[in-house]
Chain A
């Protein structure tokens, strides 16, 4: 219990966000949408980390989230650069159409 916020509420919210993120990543065709869903999943993980950090009364949760945010920034920039380069070659960001390595 962090003050009046029960940990189960935090975990439930985090789980719901993560599930929505997985649904988006598995069921969408647009590469940018999939990437956005992955970012959502990372934020869900951040929420869970902070929830546990506050429940255990330690700053470690915040430190971990700090690093996760920094790494997410690095990953987003490289990922989007890859999309831009890919788009220049295939003129499409539908993930079903990017299948040049198929047999």
Chain B
């Protein structure tokens, strides 16, 4: 393995890890402006042109604020939890293909961090680890509101994890593989009978897509499922006692989770970097694939933001009822439907 090969592997893995947190800064600005637009007010427009410097200013503020660690907390767990949150959020993206496999200067470069045969399982493994970040924050803060927020959030995450995994199992069944590059590859081109419709998974598995997308809201603790953070009810839920950059870490982790959830939706149900009739060649093809992927992800991120400022918050029992009694049976029905489709396609 030459130095160039090693450098390529490192870049494949490290670049997304560095770019994702960087993307959060304009994302916060976008969220605040879109929120303002929906609420018929201007939003940040003083700091810099169109308020673009608002996010960097907030970052500087978070770095320079006093870091308060209350005495009664369990210090080790208190300090560990935010880093766990960021670690889980970033690691999930390691297996998502953000572009096609390109051939540049004689070297084959797959545009994915790690193209493992268990890609989808890795995503769910890391998502189940993110529960620890929240539950430990809630517990170690030694504070009623944090504990409530932490327990609610972890119960919510593990409940919706089931529906999300079963919906994704439908995609795995259709693709015949856990490898996310295989999932994208089977969505290339258009349908045979309906020539202009791309062969995206959302069309045969619309119910699965809805279940997955709604569960993604619950997994990322975004409205309408943000009772754990419940700004008006639980002070700030599980991150009440965190200040300055520790709170910043949770903030960062939440937005990275939103980006990764949108990326997963785009990959599983909307064809990832592929478009019908698009056969990428060389580095230009790679760049175009990356742009298509970024566009699809950006669209879903906008939907995340749009829903946040449109829908009211679910009450906790309504939330649990939705997850267990509505989404889980729907995802099982979707799985059954996909199995029928697979048998029908196989017998043709």
Q: Do chains A and B touch in the complex (CB under 8 A)?
A: no
A positions within 8 Å CB-CB of B? none
B positions within 8 Å CB-CB of A? none
